[in-house]
A and B are shown apart, each in its own frame.
Chain A
Amino acid sequence: MNGTIDHKCPNCAAVLKFNPHGQNWKCEYCKSEFDSAQIEAINEKSGKVIDETTEAVKLQKDFNGMDIYSCPNCGAQIVADENTTATSCVYCKSTAILKNKLVGEFNPTKIIAFHKTKEDAISAFQKIRKGRPFAPKEFNNPKNIDEMSGIYIPFWIYDFQANGNLQADAKRVNTWRSGDYMITKTDVYLALRSGHMEYDKIPVDGSERFSNDIMNSIEPFDYNELVDFNHAYLSGFLAEKYDVDSDKALTDAVERVKNSTTDVLRNSITGYTSVVVTSANHDLQLTNKEYVLLPVWMLNIKYKDKIYTFAMNGQTGKMIGDIPIEKKKVIIWWICLFVLTFLVCIIVYLIGGIR
């Protein structure tokens, strides 16, 4: 089945798209709405029909790394790279889910659906200058949005059981006066800690195309809304399959777990003036891993011929990205603050605060 699938409205056969605000599917023509249970039923009932009627034959494979499909809706060619699992036809805009890429190991187990719409992402971008006086004035103009896409990004999520040992030199320093002498007493301890702890669902971006730092920065996702994967969630959005395999992605998660485990053990050493960790080792056990799709709005902003990448957590709405800095504003701010602080010093002096 080298085909694309789409979800059709049982009432009018138009394409059903996922509606993030209602968390349901809405037919853009007859306005019918369906919840996830109904979609499940439609899928099962018409699963065979979809295969037959919406079969879009994969015309060419691995042509310069691109796959070419024919749109199930209008027959136009759809070009998608090898990692794309959901896209849309450039002619008729209908969603094409490249089902053949979502089978076997590439079939995600769970998904968090989009909660934020494109409009939400635009308005979040418009507010991004708030509290950031050094951002150029024109930067957050929506017209600078060069490209905006709602993408289900492949993530690996890992559960760990961690055992850690830690040794630290702990010092307690007491100082007091005795006559004309200051007495300093230093008590030295060797602090030993061993502990066990568990971590749930540490996400690691499984796509080479998206920077790990950006994906780290839009964390956390609310896993309470993690549901079983269903193709229907992809309609109306783009989706990718993983190209960073689990073993490779794991190293990032392991590093984070080690650091946090050390932190927990280190922070249990209390009541000292200084604590220096001399050795720490870990024994981690991966207890579960899952391949999931998480919703992200990706925005590319073109400002002064440079592209800035922003991302918004499609579930929580947290928007991140590095904003350019206008040097002139920084200098003006610094000078104004200098003058202001100096005036405050003078006022404090006149009132009588500084001796």
Chain B
Amino acid sequence: MRKILFSFAALLCFALPVHALDTSVKVYDDANLLTDYEEQQLSIQAQNFVDKYDMDLVLVTTSYNDGKGTKAYAQDFYDYNDFGVGNTNDGILFLIDRTYGYNDTYMVTTGHAILVYDDARINYILDDIYAVRNNGYYTMFSTFISSSSTYADLGVAPSNENMYIDENGEYREKRVFPLFMSIVISIIVPTIIVIILLLKNKMVRKATKATAYLDESTISYTQREDRFITTHTTRTYVPRSSSGRGGGSHGGSSISRGSSGTSHGGGGRRM
């Protein structure tokens, strides 16, 4: 009986991803925006990208996003169809969603790709695509691939220098024990405490004030005047976008979790 149950469960497991696709196919033109030839060309470019950067690249068009919204549709498409390279499903996906009658685009990053494409780079890629939005869908997709390649060549974005992707694909901060800082604190704090305790042994002090003997009620002022003399103003150039790790989450990649639970970076725009 148990054996039967087990095999039934096993069958279910295999049966579940009903929509599972052949992940070696990189172009899904469900909205029929591309010609077969264009699809072929994009497939080749996508495959080159995958081979070169060890990250998946998926191009999708749809005319109906299942009512999920563009972003969730893009994320789910990637997650539920098991795209991605390696344990953390590294890769990027670009969707053009025609559900609302517009070109709603969305770029999803997953795994290592989250580090390469920070929010700023995603915006630059979307800018590049936006610039060619009137040149047809093929150009938009092809621009996506070439622009993404440019940044993949640059590797991890500087804003993500202190971040890493853990074994579950989560975007995390690299933490290094601040040894020097800790030693400095560990020297200063005990020194202050010891000085305070040392001073407790010194109780004899010359009195220099007579404040204890002042009758506060007798204080009266015959002059109490603050004369304004001058004012001066200086301006120092301090750029607002303070580089470095100032705000922690400033720069870097914004993360959202899809319905599958996987963390993604990404960004989109109506074009």
Report which A residues bind B (CB closer than 8 A): 131-135, 165, 170, 177-202, 211-214, 216-217, 219-220, 253, 255-257, 259-260, 263-264, 268-269, 320-325, 330, 333-334, 337-342, 345-346, 349, 352, 354-355
Tell me the complex Cα distance, A355–B252, Å: 15
Report which B residues bind A (CB closer than 8 A): 173, 175, 177-178, 181-183, 185-187, 189-191, 193-194, 197-198, 200-215, 218-240, 245, 248
Cβ of B203 and Cβ of A217 under 8 Å apart? yes
Tell me the complex Cα distance, A1–B212, Å: 41
Q: What B residues does A349 contact at CB under 8 A?
A: 175, 177-178, 182
Query: How close is B168's CB to chain A, nearest CB, in angstroms?
Result: 18
* Contact with B240, one of A134, A180, A190 (Cβ below 8 angstroms): A180
Tell me the complex Cα distance, A201–B236, Å: 55
Cβ of B220 and Cβ of A196 under 8 Å apart? yes
The 5 closest A-B pairs by CB, nearest first: A337-B190, A216-B207, A345-B182, A256-B210, A194-B223
Q: What B residues does A340 contact at CB under 8 A?
A: 190
Query: How close is B237's CB to chain A, nearest CB, in angstroms?
Result: 6
Contact flag A216-B218 (CB < 8 Å), given A192-B227, A337-B189, A341-B189: no
Cβ of B204 and Cβ of A193 under 8 Å apart? no
Cβ of B218 and Cβ of A196 under 8 Å apart? yes
Contact flag A186-B233 (CB < 8 Å), given A170-B226, A200-B215, A201-B213: yes
| Closest residue of A by beta carbon distance from B188 | A341
| Closest residue of B by beta carbon distance from A320 | B203
Interchain residue pairs with CB less than 8 A apart (11): A170-B226, A183-B235, A197-B214, A197-B215, A198-B215, A217-B207, A253-B210, A263-B209, A333-B193, A340-B190, A349-B182
Query: How close is A314's CB to chain B, nearest CB, in angstroms?
Result: 17
* Contact with A180, one of B193, B206, B229, B239 (Cβ below 8 angstroms): B239
Q: What A residues does B183 contact at CB under 8 A?
A: 342
Cβ of B194 and Cβ of A334 under 8 Å apart? yes
Contact flag A190-B204 (CB < 8 Å), given A133-B197, A198-B215, A341-B186: no
Cβ of B211 and Cβ of A195 under 8 Å apart? no
Tell me the complex Cα distance, A354–B223, Å: 52
Cβ of B215 and Cβ of A199 under 8 Å apart? yes
Contact flag A134-B233 (CB < 8 Å), given A264-B219, A342-B182, A355-B175: no
Cβ of B231 and Cβ of A187 under 8 Å apart? yes
Additional A-B contacts beyond A182-B236, A322-B202 (12; CB < 8 A): A132-B200, A182-B235, A194-B222, A196-B219, A196-B221, A199-B213, A256-B209, A256-B210, A321-B203, A337-B190, A341-B190, A345-B186
* Contact with B190, one of A131, A195, A212, A338 (Cβ below 8 angstroms): A338
Contact flag A259-B189 (CB < 8 Å), given A134-B201, A192-B227, A196-B220: no
Cβ of B204 and Cβ of A213 under 8 Å apart? yes
Tell me the complex Cα distance, A344–B231, Å: 47
Cβ of B206 and Cβ of A213 under 8 Å apart? yes
Query: How close is A43's CB to chain B, nearest CB, in angstroms?
Result: 32
Q: What A residues does B238 contact at CB under 8 A?
A: 177, 180-182
Tell me the complex Cα distance, A340–B178, Å: 16
Contact flag A202-B213 (CB < 8 Å), given A338-B190, A355-B245: yes
Q: What A residues does B218 contact at CB under 8 A?
A: 196-198
* Contact with B207, one of A133, A256, A346, A354 (Cβ below 8 angstroms): A256
Tell me the complex Cα distance, A170–B225, Å: 12
Contact flag A188-B224 (CB < 8 Å), given A199-B210, A264-B214: no
Q: What B residues does A189 contact at CB under 8 A?
A: 226-229
Contact flag A333-B197 (CB < 8 Å), given A216-B207, A253-B210: yes
Tell me the complex Cα distance, A352–B177, Å: 10
Tell me the complex Cα distance, A213–B204, Å: 6
Q: What A residues does B191 contact at CB under 8 A?
A: 334
Tell me the complex Cα distance, A217–B202, Å: 11
| Closest residue of A by beta carbon distance from B183 | A342
| Closest residue of A by beta carbon distance from B192 | A337
For A133, A191, A198, A257, which residue has the most chain B Cβ atoms within 10 angstroms? A198
Contact flag A320-B204 (CB < 8 Å), given A196-B218, A196-B222, A259-B210: yes
Contact flag A134-B209 (CB < 8 Å), given A170-B226, A193-B221, A194-B221: no
Cβ of B210 and Cβ of A325 under 8 Å apart? no
Q: What B residues does A338 contact at CB under 8 A?
A: 186-187, 190
Q: What B residues does A133 contact at CB under 8 A?
A: 197
| Closest residue of A by beta carbon distance from B219 | A197
Cβ of A181 and Cβ of B200 under 8 Å apart? no
| Closest residue of A by beta carbon distance from B211 | A260
Cβ of A323 and Cβ of B203 under 8 Å apart? yes
Q: What A residues does B190 contact at CB under 8 A?
A: 333-334, 337-338, 340-341
Tell me the complex Cα distance, A322–B235, Å: 53
Cβ of B240 and Cβ of A342 under 8 Å apart? no
Q: What B residues does A321 contact at CB under 8 A?
A: 203-204
